[in-house]
Amino acid sequence: MKPIRSLAFVVNQEKAGAVDLARTLIAVARQAGVKQRMTTRFPLARGVLRGVDACCVIGGDGTLLGVAREAVREGIPIIGVNRGSLGFLTTFSADEARAHFGDLLQGAYKVAQRALLDCSTGTGAHDLALNDVLIKDEVNSRLVRLEVVADGELVTDYHCDGLIFSTPTGSTAYNLSAGGPLVHPGAEVIAMTPICPHTLSNRSIIFRENVRLRVFNRTDSSRLLVALDGQRNLKVGIGSPVEISISRHKLLLAQRPDYSHFAVVRTKLKWNGAAAEAPKAGA
C-alpha cells in the first residue's frame, strides 16, 4: 500500500496505557516525517479527520465504532490498536503496534473493506452501522411483535425481545451472544437473529447483499428503539417501518499483511486450533 504521510490519532484516555502508547506512536510518526494530530474528545467533531491519509484509533472496539462513520465520510482507513478487551476490530495489539508501526507508515499493511448497514426509520432519521442494528421496545424489555418483509415478501412475524440485524463484522458481537452465526467478514450478507423468540423454530436468517428489509411494529401501545452499534439511537414514527439494507459505502480497515481472520477468531474465542489428523488410506 502507499505510505502514510499524514495521520490522525484518536485516543480513548479511559483505557489503561492508551495515552502513553499514543505518545510512543506519535514519536515514531514524527521521526518518519509523518504529519500528525491527536484528539481524545468523543464523539468526534464533524471534519476532524479531514485531510489525513489514515486514522489510528487507540482503545477498544467501542472506540473504533465511534470513529467509523467519520472515517467512512472521509474515505480513509482506520488503524485499530487494542487497549480494550476482545479487540475484533482493533486488530493490532500494543506490542504489534510498537514493533511494526514504522513499517506500517511506509506502506506495510493491507486494507480490508467492511460492509455497513444503512438504516432509516421513515421520519427522516438515517444512519450507518458497522456492527449491528438492534430493534426492541423503546422502554421495557418486554415482548414485541415485529413483522419482517424482505424485498416486498413477508418473512414472518416474530414474537421476541427484539431483533438484531448484523453485518459480517458484527457477527462476533451482540449477534453471537444471542446465538447467531459467525459470518466471514468478506461475505456480503445480513444476518438477522431474534432475541429470545417465543417460537423455538425461529432461528437466524442470512439475507443476500442486495436485500431491502422492512420491519413493522405490530405491538399494541409500544414504541420501538432502534440502536446502531450500541451507541446511537433512531426514533421511529408510529406506523413507520424500519428500513435496513447494505450501504454502498465501506469502512476501510488497515491490517498487517499476514492478518488472518480465523487466527483472530481462534484467539479471541479461545478455540482449539489443532487440526484433526487425516485418516489413513484404506481406513
Domains of the chain, with CATH numbers?
6-109+256-268 (3.40.50.10330), 116-248 (2.60.200.30)
The pairing of strands 144-150 and 213-217 is antiparallel
φ, ψ for residue 51 (rounded to 5)?
A: 90, 5
| C-alpha torsion 102→103→107→109, nearest 10 | -110
* Nine-digit cell string for 4: 502514510
Euclidean distance between CA atoms 98 and 83, whole angstroms: 13
pLDDT, tens digit, 9 for 90 and up, residues 194-231: 999 998 889 999 999 999 999 999 998 788 999 999 99
Judge whether 237 and 56 are in contact, CB under 8 Å.
Answer: no
Beta carbons within 8 Å of 5's beta carbon, 6+ residues apart: 33, 34, 35, 53
pLDDT, position 176: 95
**CA nearest to 231, candidates 150, 127, 145:** 127
Name the 3-class secondary structure at 264.
Answer: helix
pLDDT, tens digit, 9 for 90 and up, residues 233-277: 998 877 889 999 999 999 999 999 999 999 888 988 888 865 544
Strands (E), the chain: 6-11, 35-39, 54-59, 78-82, 110-120, 126-129, 132-137, 144-150, 153-160, 162-166, 190-195, 205-207, 213-217, 224-228, 232-235, 242-255
pLDDT, position 212: 98
pLDDT, position 268: 85
The whole-angstrom distance between residue 77's C-alpha and the CA centroid of its chain comes to 14
- Start-to-end CA span in the chain (Å): 48
The pairing of strands 6-11 and 54-59 is parallel
State the pTM of this model: 0.91
Per-residue pLDDT of the chain (283 residues; tens, 9 = 90+): 999 999 999 999 999 999 999 999 999 999 999 999 999 998 898 899 999 999 999 999 999 999 999 999 999 999 999 997 778 899 899 999 999 999 999 999 999 999 999 999 977 778 999 999 999 998 877 899 999 999 999 999 999 999 999 999 999 999 999 999 999 999 999 999 999 999 888 999 999 999 999 999 999 878 899 999 999 999 887 788 999 999 999 999 999 999 999 988 898 888 886 554 444 444 3
Catalytic residues: 61
Beta carbons within 8 Å of 24's beta carbon, 6+ residues apart: 98
One-letter amino acid identity for 87? G
